Structures are given as structure tokens and as C-alpha cells.
């Protein structure tokens, strides 16, 4: 077994996980995949994965276990109920889900108690980056666990950054996405106000994109159709990063902020605005679609 032909179990083949598992196959790994959805399993099979009938079957004899699951409770249940004990003691465990910091640290501690090395490695980049292998991974865990996880993550991403101890990957992810949510709302407000003041959106972009208001939400992901590089705004706000997922991350951020006694008034306001947006039936739209409410 070398770094280029590991046996890897992949748990969770949704919009993100499916592309990530496919990229592990492209990198030369033997991937045994599991998901509750038969359609997701069928797609994984089409991309070269071997499919398993259960988590326990997927992780048996695996050199590494990668998971991409919806929330912390499911992650905790999967690892404590099905991975620990079924996976070999030498397997490295990588949870790429976005979950709360406390649960990430609890799962990592239980992994250690069962003799496993584990990292939390949430991602930034969205579905296109998952399919293209250009994700950014923010990794929490020991130096030893990170060293083992890094080559696996590199097969799925363009940047793999060690954020520190267990749970710090999740901390980095939710802080980053809270900032992204705040920036996007501010960008939307500025474009909406510029138009109402009679300023052409392209002209405002040309000015602000080279001035102090410049930010990623403007110059890489502009919420106005026909302005800046191609973005979900040019496709009716379809694809990209769903507003419901942005709301999930903002809620995780506020929960963590309260635990850490960190004041985040802008984060709280961003959460409230996305709660209204998603509550109005827009959860499946890209998060930049919130400009339509302004």
C-alpha cells in the first residue's frame, strides 16, 4: 500500500461527497462508498467506486475513512455506532462535514479512546470545486494525524491548511463563512443602493472592485447578473452555495460564538436575514440571491 493506492471508505455521497469520492478514484485510490441513497450509490459506481451495503462494510479493512455528512448528530452516530470497532485500528479518520465545534471535538476524543487518529477537515469551495478537485480544507487534529490525512485531502483539493488541534478546522470554517455571509449581504446592499441612486451596476463594479470596498463577494461571486466573472447570478441564482447551507453555517457560528462568549452582532444580523430569506422558500437558491430582497 502506498499513498497512491490506499483503500479508502467514503461515507456520504451527496452534492459534495460524490465529487470528492470520484476524485479519490481519479487519484488512484480504491474507494468503497456508502450512502443511504441508492441513486447516490449508483452515481458513485459510475465514477469507479465500489459500493457497500452499510457503513461497517465500507470501512472494513480500509486504510482511511472519509465522511461527508449533514450534521453533527449524524457524524457522532456514524462514528460511535458504526465506524469505531469496524474500521481497523490503523485507519486514519477524516470527517469533512461542517458541524459544530463541540461535536467535532467529542468525536475526535472518542476516536482517540478507541485507538484511532482523526481530523476534522471541513471544506470551502462548493459543488463545482468538489467536482473539480479544487476545494480548500481547514484541518483540525494532531500533527501526526494531519500528516497522514494531508495526501488524501490533496487528492480532493487545491489547499490543505492545518488549523491546529481537533475542532479548529470547524472553527475556521464557521468563522470564514460567517464573514462570507456578512460580506455578501453588504455587497448586495451596496449594489441595490447604487442602482437606486442612478449608478449603473457595471460602473459601480468597475469603481468599487479597484477601491476599498473590494471583496470576494463582489469580484469573484458578484450577486448582479452580467457583472463580473460568471456566477450563479447569471443562472437565475441556481447552483453554487445554497442559502439553506449558508444559514446552517451562520447558526453554527452563532452557537459557537455564544459558547466562546464572543460578541458577533453582524453575524447575528446576517443569520436573521438569511432566516427570513430561507423561510420565504428560497433555501435552494444560491446565497447571493438574497439581493432580490433588497
Catalytic residue among 7, 26, 158, 173: 173
Q: Are 138 and 160 in contact (CB under 8 A)?
A: no
Residue 84 grid cell: 469505531
Is 248 labeled as catalytic in the residue annotation? no
Whether the Cβ atoms of residue 92 and residue 117 lie closer than 8 Å to each other: yes
Burial 122-160 (b: 16+ CB within 10 A, else e): bbbbbbebbbebebbbbbbbbeebbebbbebbebbbeeb
CA-based nearest residue to 178, from 110, 114, 270: 270
Question: Which three three-digit cell numbers place residue 244?
Answer: 439553506
Instruction: Give the active site residues.
Output: 173
Amino acid at each position: 500500500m502506498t499513498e497512491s493506492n490506499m483503500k479508502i471508505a467514503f461515507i456520504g455521497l451527496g452534492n459534495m461527497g460524490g465529487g470528492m469520492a470520484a476524485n479519490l478514484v481519479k487519484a488512484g485510490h480504491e474507494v468503497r462508498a456508502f450512502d443511504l441513497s441508492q441513486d447516490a450509490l449508483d452515481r458513485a459506481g459510475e465514477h469507479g467506486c465500489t459500493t457497500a451495503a452499510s457503513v461497517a462494510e465500507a470501512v472494513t479493512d480500509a486504510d482511511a475513512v472519509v465522511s461527508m455528512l449533514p450534521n453533527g448528530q449524524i457524524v457522532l452516530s456514524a462514528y460511535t455506532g458504526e465506524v469505531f470497532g469496524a474500521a481497523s485500528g490503523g485507519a486514519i479518520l477524516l470527517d469533512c462535514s461542517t458541524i459544530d465545534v463541540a461535536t467535532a471535538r467529542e468525536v475526535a476524543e472518542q476516536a482517540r479512546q478507541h485507538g484511532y487518529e482523526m481530523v476534522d477537515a471541513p471544506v470551502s469551495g462548493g459543488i463545482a470545486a468538489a467536482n473539480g478537485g479544487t476545494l480548500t480544507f481547514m484541518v483540525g487534529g494532531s500533527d501526526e494525524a494531519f500528516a497522514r490525512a494531508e495526501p488524501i485531502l490533496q487528492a480532493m483539493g487545491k489547499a490543505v491548511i492545518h488549523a491546529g488541534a481537533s475542532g479548529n478546522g470547524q472553527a475556521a470554517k464557521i468563522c470564514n463563512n460567517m464573514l462570507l455571509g456578512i460580506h455578501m449581504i453588504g455587497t448586495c446592499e451596496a449594489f441595490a443602493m447604487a442602482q437606486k441612486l442612478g449608478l449603473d451596476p457595471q460602473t459601480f463594479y468597475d469603481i468599487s472592485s479597484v477601491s476599498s470596498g473590494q471583496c470576494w463577494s463582489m469580484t469573484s461571486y458578484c450577486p448582479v447578473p452580467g457583472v463580473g466573472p460568471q456566477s450563479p447570478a447569471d443562472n437565475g441564482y441556481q447552483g453554487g452555495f445554497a442559502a439553506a447551507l449558508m444559514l446552517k453555517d451562520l447558526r453554527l457560528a452563532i452557537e459557537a460564538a455564544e459558547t466562546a462568549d464572543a460578541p458577533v452582532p453582524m453575524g447575528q444580523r446576517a443569520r436573521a436575514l438569511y432566516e427570513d430569506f430561507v423561510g420565504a422558500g428560497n433555501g435552494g437558491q444560491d446565497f447571493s440571491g438574497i439581493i432580490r430582497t433588497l
